[in-house]
Structure formats: C-alpha cells, structure tokens
With several copies, the nearest count.
Chain A
Amino acid sequence: MAGLFDSLRARRPRVDKVATPALPSDHWVKCSGCGNAIYRASFLENRKVCEKCSHHHRMSARERLELLADPGSFEEWDAGLVSVDPLGFGQDYLDKLKSDRERTGLSDGLLSGACTLDGIPVALGIMDFGFRGGSMGSVVGEKVVRVLERAAERRIPALLVTCSGGARMQEGMLSLMQMGRTCAAVRRLNRVPAPFLVIMTDPTTAGVAASFAALGDVILAEPGAIIGFSGRRVVEQTIRQKLPPGFQSSEFYLEHGFLDRVVPRSELKDTVTAILGMLAVPAEVGR
C-alpha cells in the first residue's frame, strides 16, 4: 500500500520541489503542470495555482491553515507528539524524521488544532506531504483520532485535509491499524451527530484514502488530485498496459460517484463554510 507514495514521488519529483518557495530560487518558479515559468510573487498570491494551466501545486500544512482558518483563530493541539521507530528500522529512518521535523516545522505529518472558519468553530487537521510523504503512522493516526474525538466532545464539525501516499511503512502493522482506529473514531463522531468534512488534495491514496478520508459526510477534492487505493505502478503492472488518462484523478472519482464536489482552491473556503453553515447547527426541526 505504501507503494503509491513512492510512485507519486517518482512521477514528478523535481518540478514540485522547484515550485516550493522554501527552496532557494530566483523570482520565477516552473509550473509542474504546464512547464511554464511563473513569477513567484503572483504564484504565491494565487495560492500556488498556476495562472496559465490552473495546476494546483501542493501546499504545506501551514499554508493551508492560512488558506482556511480565520486569522488568529488557530490553537494547535498535540504539537509534541513525535514518531519513534517501533520496529527498529534504524538510524536512517530516525534521521529522516528529524530532518523532516526541522524542514516542515511540524512534529509529524499532520497539523491539528481548534480554529474557526467564518466564525464556525471547527476541529481541524491538515496533512503535510513534506513530512514523509504525508504517510500515516501512529502519530498521524493518533492526531486524526483526537481531532475526531474532540469534535465529538465539543459537538463541532471536524475538517480533515488529506495529503498522503498512505501508510508509514516503517511502522509496519502499527501503521495499518491507524486505518481501523480512525474509521472507528469517525463513526463515533457520526453518532453525535457532528459534521465530518474531508478535503482531498494531491495525493490522497492507499491507507488514508481507504480509511477516514473515504468517510466524510461531504467529501471535496481539489482539481487534478490523485486519489485511490492501489499505486499507479502496481495497477499498471497488474493490467500490463498504460493507464487511461485521468485515471485516479479527482475528476475521475467525481464521475464515479465517490466525491461530492471538485472545488478549485480559490472557492474552497467558501464552499466549506457554506456546507458547515448548513450542517453545523443544531437540528431545528421542532423536536
């Protein structure tokens, strides 16, 4: 399952890095969608959406937080939870965790906390592909569960923004179990009831797609995001032919009935708050 994470990296590794403002670069970035050079300032102003081809480039968790949360409303949760090496994969893995922590400023692959969206209190979790490909190990799973549990306690909506290649291979079966426990937590939230919204961004695959991400009361996705269970390379090897164009894109899954809407980044916050505004108030049906 972790294979998808890898094949995604293999598909477009360097271009996305060029588009990352954290890297030293000149005033221009190259779009990984169309290859055009874009003026960095307008690229960032346009929320990392290419003005030429509308390709939605990946955002870090903090960039997304800025996109979604009302300014100053965010209070982070569980900022001290870090991954360990339960199977003894070794120093190389521990070093990678450390450098990802330093580079992203996150304790692990998910940033979570309380905030408001247009004044609506929300329990929010945002995955960051920059941290081990957004892979879900114990920490990500635990933070997702806590987001869902806190939403249930407070009877407020949970919003999870997914961006993950799947399970954290280095945690072995511990990472697989995160699928089960996050799904169980979703059901507890459902029963409150409190709304559960998911925004799938590129990529949302394997163990994350096949667990809490698939269970949103409403599931939105960004244009062109890769979504699915099995990695593209694995599918290609299985069918021994090239994949059809658009396979596993968000548009593909909208057509196949698994997404509620594909929403451009510029409309994302408005769409989310409109939906929450209708779901996140007590039933007023007179009983």
Chain B
Amino acid sequence: MILEVEKPLLELERKIRELQEVDRAAGVDLSAEIRLLERKAQELKENIFGNLSAWDRVQLARHVERPATLDYVTHLFTDFVELHGDRFHGDDPAVVGGLARFQGRPCLVLGHQKGKGTRENLARNFGMPNPEGFRKAGRLMRLAARFGRPIFTFVDTPGAYPGIEAEERGQFEAIASNLALMSELPVPILTVVIGEGGSGGALGIALADRVLILENSVYSVISPEGCASILWRDAARAEEAAAALGLTSQTLKRLGLVDEVLPEPLGGAHRDPAGTFRTVQEALSRHLKTLLDVEEHALLDARYSKYRQMAVMGDL
C-alpha cells in the first residue's frame, strides 16, 4: 500500500538504490551524488511527514502495514493467554483480549483487531465489533478488576459494526454498558489509540485513566467520509471533512481529550515497528507507574474529574 503523499519520496529512494547498484556493479564512484540525493530524500521526508494533513494522517492510521493490537500484545507483553466469549451470545474476532504480563506484572490486555489481509479482515470484520465484542471486553475487564489487574486497551477500529443483527442484539446497550463499567472499575485503565479511532466503537473500550495516541492515529466522532456525505452530500469531500473534524492527535491533545501524543518514526509507525513498540512501552510503563501509586478511591475520583471536564461551552 503506497500513500499518495509518499510517492515522490519512494521515487527518490528508488533512484538512490539504482545509483548504489551502478556504483557497486560498474565500479563507478557515485558516492558524492548518492550522498546528495540522500540528503534530498531526508529533506523531502521531513517535508512530507512534517506537514501531514489530517487526511494524510487518516491514510496513515488506516495503513494495512500499521502495527495492530496483536502486534503490540506480542512485543510489549508476555505470557498472553487469549480468552474468548461474552457468555451471552458469541465470541467476536474483531475484539481480542486476554491475560498477559506487562513487564512481569499480570494484567489484562485487549483491543480491536483488524486483519492483515483480505481473508483475515473478513474473519475479523475489519475490526468492527458486534455487541458481543464489547460484552467480551466488559466481561474480561470485570475479571481483571476483581483480581486487581491493570487494564490495557488498544484502539483500532473504523467503528462499531452497523449490521442488522448488531442492532438487534443491542449495539447501543453494549457500548453504553462498557462506558458505565469503565467509569467505575477500581484498577488502572490505560488506552492507546494505535490506528483508527472510530467513534462509539472506539470509545466503547477507551474510557481510561490515560488515553495515549500515536502521532498519526486519528480519533473521530464520525468518519470523514460520513461527515462529508452529511455536511455536503458528497463523500468525496472527505479530505475537507477530515480537516474540519479535529481528529488528529494534536487537536485532541489541545482539547484535553487525550493525555499524551506518542511520536512516531518519520513516515509512520509501519516504517519502524520496533521503534514504535519501544515508544509505546516506555509511555505505558511510565503512566502505569504513576497510576499504581494512587489509592483506589482517588483513582476513580480522578477518572471521573477528567471526563467531567470535557466540555467547551459559553454563557448567554
């Protein structure tokens, strides 16, 4: 998957590789030219990725190679035992969760899971939860809370699945119940928006003591496409809508809706997954440490106060 925005850079990088080939194979010394081009590539890279539009970030957040929840589970956690089922209706593959250890400490980890290819994406419903996904998450979080285990959630979904049966089985109730539940669980809850934060489907596992977001992740009340089709009856104006919706990590931080923006490698998380994992691990470790020092009652009060303040209003 090649993004529009990175095409000139990829072209330049291809040229550099050609010159290197010639340099090596033909024995012609092109090192000066190569250095020049490399400097140019770096400038271009900084230029491109330093000035990403909201829409560019939407593309990066949706990038198929972007690390997904199970990648974080694999690289940041040990001893993962996936647990299944909501104990009511089914097991939703769009939400994964289980017991694991974070830096040796037992915890619960869960998140939306998109597929890597078409087949897995179909199996995982493109990371769009049905009610049983939210209810599985709720069940596991209750379990974790009873045993005093911290909870990590990873957000990466286009949204809750808008299907007939999802509506029948109470998508609205499932999301609301998780929000209520997460507001009162007496253990630290840490959320990282690692990709696409799609509306209520994202929030349904993301009411937390700390909400961190990767630099190029997005988190939006409605998809840019959906917004454009409502505002202007034209889904093609999604780029415009993305800019208007304030869905970038920077805007969210400015509005006080996320706690920290985690920097990504230049060009996006998928260009250096290992570096991204280190960044996320360091941040989670740091925030968890702070939260573990807080008494249960203070933790819940702080969580309530934090959300209590999320309003921007005026007076007549």
A and B touch in the complex (CB under 8 A): yes
Stretch among A12-20, A25-33, A81-89, A114-122 lining the B interface = A81-89
If the complex has contacts A1-B199, A229-B200, A257-B87, are A283 and B149 also in contact, measured as CB distance less than 8 A? yes
Q: Judging by beta carbons under 8 Å apart, are B177 and A215 in contact?
A: yes
Residues of A with C-beta under 8 A to B187: 285
Judge whether A183 and B163 touch: CB under 8 Å: no
Secondary structure at chain B's binding surface: helix, strand, loop or mixed?
mixed
Asked whether A167 lies within 8 Å of B83 as measured between CB atoms, the reply is no
Specify the chain A residue showing the minimal Cβ separation from B231.
Answer: A169
B50 interface residue (CB < 8 Å to A) = no
Residue A218 lies at the interface, judged by CB distance under 8 Å to chain B: yes
Are B311 and A228 in contact, CB atoms less than 8 angstroms apart?
no
Q: A172-B221, A234-B162 are in contact. List 6 more A-B contacts (CB 8 A).
A: A86-B246, A171-B312, A180-B203, A183-B176, A184-B207, A235-B163
Stretch among A39-47, A51-59, A65-73, A139-147 lining the B interface: A139-147
Total number of A residues with any Cβ neighbor in B under 8 Å: 90
Is residue A248 within 8 Å, beta carbon to beta carbon, of the partner chain? Answer: yes
Residues 148-188 (chain B) with a chain A CB within 8 angstroms: 148-150, 159-164, 166-173, 175-177, 179-180, 182-184, 187-188
Task: Give the chain A neighbours of B136 by CB distance below 8 A.
Answer: 257
The 5 closest A-B pairs by CB, nearest first: A283-B148, A230-B162, A184-B183, A286-B292, A214-B176
Cβ–Cβ contact B313 & A139, under 8 A: yes
Q: What band does the interface of chain B fall in when counting residues whose beta carbon is under 8 Å from A?
A: 35 or more
Per the bound structure, the CA–CA distance linking A248 and B219 in Å amounts to 27
Task: Name the distance in Å between A81's Cβ and chain B's nearest Cβ.
Answer: 5
Assess the B226–A255 pair: CB atoms within 8 A.
Answer: no
Question: Residue on A with the closest CB to B257?
Answer: A173
A139 touches B84 (CB 8 A): no
The yes or no answer to A112 lying at the interface (CB within 8 A) is no
Closest to B309 in A: A181
Q: Among the listed B86, B90, B179, B312, which residue makes an inter-chain contact with A179, where contact means beta carbons less than 8 Å apart? A: B179
The answer to whether A38 has its CB under 8 Å from any CB of chain B is: no
Minimum CB–CB distance from B201 to chain A (whole Å) comes to: 9
Of B87, B220, B303, B307, chain A has the most CB atoms within 10 Å of the CB of: B307
Give me 17 A-to-B residue pairs in the complex whose CB atoms sit less than 8 angstroms apart, sorted by A's number.
A3-B222, A84-B314, A169-B222, A173-B252, A174-B257, A174-B311, A176-B203, A177-B310, A178-B311, A183-B176, A209-B176, A217-B143, A228-B167, A248-B167, A256-B91, A261-B82, A261-B84
Interface string of A253-287 (1 = CB under 8 A from B): 11111111100000000010011011101111111
Q: Which of B29-37, B97-105, B110-118, B273-281 contacts A (4 or more CB under 8 A)?
A: B97-105
Q: Is A193 among interface residues, defined by CB-CB distance under 8 A? A: yes
User: How distant is the Cα of A247 from the Cα of B162 in the complex, in angstroms?
Assistant: 13
Contact indicator A209/B172 (Cβ below 8 Å): yes
Please report which residues of chain B, range 66-91, place their CB below 8 angstroms from some CB of chain A when the two chains form the complex: 79, 81-91
Q: How far is the CB of A45 from chain B (nearest CB, A)?
A: 27
Residue A138 at the B interface, CB < 8 A? Answer: yes
B247 near A173: Cβ-Cβ < 8 Å: yes
Which residue from chain A places its CB closest to the CB of B165 in the assembled complex?
A: A239
Q: Which residues of A contact B184 (CB under 8 A)?
A: 184, 187, 191
Nearest-neighbor residue (CB-CB) of B290 within chain A: A286
Identity of the chain B residue whose Cβ is nearest the Cβ of A217 in the assembled complex = B143
Q: How far is the CB of B143 from chain A (nearest CB, A)?
A: 6
Residue of B whose beta carbon sits closest to that of A167: B221
B296 within 8 A of A: yes
Chain A hits for B222, CB < 8 A: 1-3, 167, 169
Decide yes or no whether B215 CB sits under 8 A from chain A. no
Cα A218 to Cα B245 with chains together (Å): 35
Q: A141-B311, A172-B245, A256-B170 are in contact. Are A238 and B175 (CB under 8 A)?
A: no
Q: How far is the CA of A260 from the CA of B245 in the complex (A)?
A: 37
Contacts of B166 in A (CB 8 A): 229-230
Residues of chain A contacted by B311 (CB below 8 angstroms): 138-139, 141-142, 174, 178, 181
B56 located at the interface, meaning its Cβ lies under 8 Å from any Cβ of chain A in the complex: no
Across the interface, do A172 and B220 meet the contact criterion of CB distance under 8 Å?
A: yes
Asked whether A285 lies within 8 Å of B188 as measured between CB atoms, the reply is yes
Question: How far does the alpha carbon of A231 sit from the alpha carbon of B226 in the complex, in Å?
Answer: 11
Are A212 and B176 in touch, CB under 8 angstroms? yes
Q: Does B293 contact A (CB under 8 A)?
A: yes
| Residues of chain A with a CB closer than 8 A to B220's CB | 172-173, 176
Q: Cβ of A214: which chain B residues have Cβ within 8 Å of it?
A: 170, 172-173, 175-177
When chains A and B are docked, how far (Å) is the Cα of A283 from the Cα of B171?
A: 33
Assembly CA distance A281 to B184 (angstroms): 23
Within 8 A of B (CB), among A221-246: 227-231, 234-235, 238-239, 243-244
A206 CB, nearest partner CB in chain B, Å: 7
Chain A 157-189 interface mask (CB, 8 Å, partner B; 1/0): 000000000010101111111111101101110
Q: Determine if B146 is an interface residue (Cβ-Cβ < 8 Å).
A: yes
A263 CA to B171 CA in the complex, in Å? 23
Most B CB contacts (10 A, CB to CB) among A84, A138, A252, A257 go to A257
